[in-house]
Amino acid sequence: MASIDSMNELFVDELRDIYDAEKRLTKAIPKLAKKASNDDLRSALEEHLQETEGQISRLEQAFEHLGERAKGKPCAGMKGILEEGDEHVGEDYEDDDLRDAVIIGSAQRVEHYEIAAYGTAIAHARLLQQDDIVQLLEESLEEEKAADAKLSQIAESVVNIEAADQSEESEEKTGPARSRQATSRQRSTAASSSKARVSSSRAKSARRR
């Protein structure tokens, strides 16, 4: 393989990496949406799938602008994030809200990776004085940021509280002190899905006693 010997080549390489990442996402997002139970979460994912299609076409415009063929270069980073997400989402959860919390975590990891990639590509496009491409990439970056903010909002306002409430309902039936502790612990760590999962399994073992 030829070595990268100019900023321009490096930039094309970066765009190919992002192009591959976005293409992978068009396959991964529908799978996540299918597993989501919360309506807001599902529609946020479906909406972002549409945006992702648009981002792919912006990248194609950027390649055209540079006189380069639109072609992906396997993005190991996105591949890894998606594999990890797949693994976590596929685990057993006591209730659907906990799985939704994990789906949000996976989707936000994706968004942050993309935000980083677009940020660097925009800086390089500026160096190369590719103003039209800067504009295209900035539009996509804004969509990624908005998608991330939307996911944070869903995580805070819907999914985690419902997950905690469900534990509270089952606690009311049995009422062990350990379970009450687990629920408040779960609330205080609502932002961390893995911790919520630990609390949930604690609540489950407390109920068994």
Asked if 38 touches Fe ion (CB under 5 A), the answer is no
Residue 53 Cβ, how far from Fe ion at the closest point, in Å? 10
- Under the binding rule (CB under 5 A), the answer on residue 55 touching Fe ion is yes
Select from 36-44, 109-117, 164-172, 187-195 the region that touches Fe ion (CB under 5 A).
109-117
Q: What is the 3-state secondary structure (H, E, C) of the chain?
A: CCCCCCHHHHHHHHHHHHHHHHHHHHHHHHHHHHHCCCHHHHHHHHHHHHHHHHHHHHHHHHHHHHCCCCCCCCCHHHHHHHHHHHHHHCCCCCCHHHHHHHHHHHHHHHHHHHHHHHHHHHHHHHHCCCHHHHHHHHHHHHHHHHHHHHHHHHHHHHHHHHHHHHHHHHHHHHCCHHHHHHHHHHHHCCCCHHHHHHHHHHHHHHHHC
Using the contact rule CB under 5 A, the part of the chain among 66-74, 83-91, 93-101, 107-115 near Fe ion is 107-115
Query: Closest CB to Fe ion among 24 and 197?
Result: 24
Per CB under 5 A, 62 contacts Fe ion: no
Q: Which stretch binds Fe ion (CB under 5 A): 32-40, 48-56, 156-164, 184-192?
A: 48-56
Least distance between Fe ion and beta carbon 69 (Å): 21
Question: Residue 114, interface with Fe ion (CB under 5 A)?
Answer: yes
The residues of the shown chain that bind Fe ion, judged by CB under 5 A, are: 52, 55, 114
